[in-house]
Amino acid sequence: MRAAASVLGAALLAGALPLQAAEAPFPTRPIRLVIPQSPGGGSDSIGRLTAQKLSENFGQSFVVDNRPGAAGMLGAELVRQATPDGYTILLSAIDTITAPLVTKNAPFDPVKHFAPITQLTTSPNVILVTPSFQAKTMRELVDLARAKPKTIDYASSGIGSMQHLGGELLNVLAKIELSHVPYKGGGPALVDLLAGRVPVMVSGTQGALPFIKTGKARALAVTSPKRSATMPDVPTVAEALSLPAYEALNWQGLFAPAGTPAPVVKRLADETIKVLNAPDVKARLAELGFDPVGNTPAAFAALVLAEQRKWIKLIQAAGIKPE
């Protein structure tokens, strides 16, 4: 009898071992956070702050790996090919969603090939002009563009970027024809705007703020549905032009490769949301011009799908051809 009980106990213990292994706490080793932009930019600043706080919360290192190139697609493709176990994740800007839409033979579909974790932040773009530019308001810019179609250039951080698409959305809704001049990043575009080599730019707020404050660039409008707390005197495009449909927001979010176990995705989301709700993190993001979000994986997935559909329609309406 005692021997039978021992055999039964051993069998039960053996049966429990796989379950215990499956329920091992996550993470048990460092996590790689791929940021597909260069060091020093907005996504990098958000990523490093998030990585630091997650390292503290998890008791494991989050190692930042900057992999810029191809409007974020280079780093995203690296994560797509990674083992779907939660140990390689992506900090994506919205450009990683939009860039494949204007790229021939895009290497991935951001909806099909990634598991959304949580949206980190949102922020507006800002429409800038040189101080000497003839148009001093959005209305004057639109009137000038209508009088001189295809003669006014606007700079962006690259083809398929939210700055590019924000400019094209303005073209479609305001019925004007600004000419797009893509740059390899927002920094080079801003340099040319400040030097007077291009008169108009759709820019992220973080890089533009210092120059707006010193008067080296003039902010005509922000691209969000409400005014920015960092530039409360600057109107939105929607209010300046009576175009309620106009909205072109930047955002950053965390993604894992498709197939990553749902409990791992949820754990990463839960801890990240805690980070975003911390007062010191909120204060730092506000200084940088970002609003924290923190939503569930399901809510973030719905946003990504909606964004993809929205910008596909804009690309078709604007006649943008994949390159």
Residues 84-127: pLDDT tens digits? 999 999 999 998 899 999 999 899 999 999 999 999 999 999 99
Same domain, 117 and 264: yes
Q: Is residue 8 one of the residues assigned to a domain?
A: no
Residues 109, 256 within the same domain: yes
At position 63, the amino acid (one-letter code) is V
| Residue pLDDT, tens place only, 169-225 | 999 999 999 999 998 888 899 999 999 999 999 999 888 999 999 999 999 999 999
Q: Say yes or no: 133 and 182 in one domain.
A: yes
CB half-sphere exposure, 143, CA atoms < 13 A = 8
What confidence category does residue 9 fall into, taking pLDDT thresholds of 50, 70 and 90?
very low
Instruction: Report the alpha-carbon distance of residue 48 to residue 44 in Å, rounded.
Output: 6
Residue entry with tokens 């759709």: 202
Whether residue 138 sits in one domain with residue 110: no
DSSP bridge partners of 125: 204
pTM summary value: 0.86
Q: Name 92's bridge partners.
A: 253
Residue 81 has pLDDT above 60, yes or no: yes
For the record, the structure tokens of 183 come out as: 């740059």
Q: Is the pLDDT of residue 82 over 50?
A: yes
**Residues 237-265: tens digit of each pLDDT:** 999 999 999 999 999 999 999 999 999 99
Same domain, 135 and 224: yes
CATH number of the structural domain spanning residue 130: 3.40.190.10
How high is the pLDDT of residue 11?
45
173 and 138, same structural domain?
Answer: yes
Reported as a single tens digit per residue, the pLDDT across 14-63 is 444 444 444 568 999 999 999 998 887 788 999 999 999 999 999 999 99
Each residue of 116-165: pLDDT tens digit? 999 999 999 999 999 999 999 999 999 999 999 999 999 998 889 999 99
Q: Is residue 20 part of a domain?
A: no
Identify the domain containing residue 304 by its residue range.
29-122+250-318
As beta bridge partners, residue 90 has 34, 255
The Cα 218–Cα 220 span in angstroms is 6
Q: What is the pLDDT of residue 2?
A: 47
Quote the CA–CA distance of 156 and 124 in Å, as a whole number: 14
| pLDDT score for 41 | 79
The model's confidence at residue 308, banded by pLDDT at 50, 70 and 90, is very high
Joined tokens for residue 13: 């213990």
Domain assignment present for 130: yes
DSSP assignment, residue 135? -
Judging by beta carbons within 10 Å of its beta carbon (0-12, 13-18, 19+), is residue 93 exposed, middle or buried? buried
Domain count, the chain: 2
Q: Which residue did the predictor score with more confidence, 6 or 104? A: 104
